[in-house]
A = this chain, B = another copy of it.
Amino acid sequence: MAGLPRDSGDARDTVVTLARSLGVAASTVSRALRGDPRISTKTRRRVEALAAERGYAPNVLARTLASGHSGLIALSLGPISNPFYVELMQEAVIQAAARDLRLLLLHAGAGPIEDQTAQTLLQYQVDGCLITSAELSSHAARICAVHNVPVVMVNRVPKLHASAIACDNFLGGQDLARLLLGGGHQRFAIIRGNPDSSTSIERERGFAEMLKNHGIDFDLRINGGSTYEGGFAAGRMFAEMPRDRQPDAIFAVADIMAMGVVDALRIGGIRVPDDISVVGFDGIAQGAWPAYAITSVQQPIAAMVSRGLDLLTARIGTSTVPDEVVLLRGELILRRSARLPVRMAA
Contacts and interface: CB of A to CB of B under 8 A. Distances in A.
Closest 9 CB pairs of A and B: A1-B68, A57-B122, A103-B105, A263-B291, A60-B123, A93-B108, A61-B61, A9-B146, A105-B105
A317 to B, nearest CB: 6
Interface string A10-50: 10100000000000000000000000000000000000000
Counting chain B CB atoms within 10 Å of each CB, the highest count among A93, A104, A145 belongs to A93
11 contacts: A2-B145, A3-B319, A9-B147, A57-B119, A61-B61, A61-B125, A62-B65, A80-B89, A102-B104, A102-B124, A263-B291
A120 B93 CA distance: 13
Nearest to A57: B122
Interface of A: 1-5, 7-10, 12, 55, 57-62, 64-65, 67-70, 75, 80-81, 83, 86, 89-90, 93-94, 97, 102-109, 116-117, 119-120, 122-125, 143-148, 150, 161, 228, 232, 260, 263-264, 266-267, 285-286, 289-291, 317-320
Given A2-B148, A5-B319, A267-B290, 6 more contacts: A3-B318, A5-B320, A80-B86, A80-B90, A260-B289, A263-B291
Contacts of A260: 289
A314 to B, nearest CB: 13
Nearest to A70: B61
Contact of A267 (B83, B123, B150, B291): B291
A264 B291 CA distance: 8
Contacts of A107: 93
Contacts of A8: 146
Contacts of A103: 104-105
B290 A12 contact: no
A148 B10 contact: yes
Contacts of A67: 1
Contact of A317 (B3, B65, B93, B289): B3
Contacts of A3: 148, 317-319
Contacts of A108: 89-90, 93-94
A116 B70 CA distance: 18
A59 B125 contact: yes
Given A60-B124, A124-B102, A319 B1 contact: yes
A90 B117 CA distance: 15
A120 B64 CA distance: 14
Contacts of A319: 1-5, 7
Contacts of A267: 290-291
A61 B65 contact: yes
A124 to B, nearest CB: 5
A333 to B, nearest CB: 17
Nearest to A123: B60
Contacts of A320: 4-5
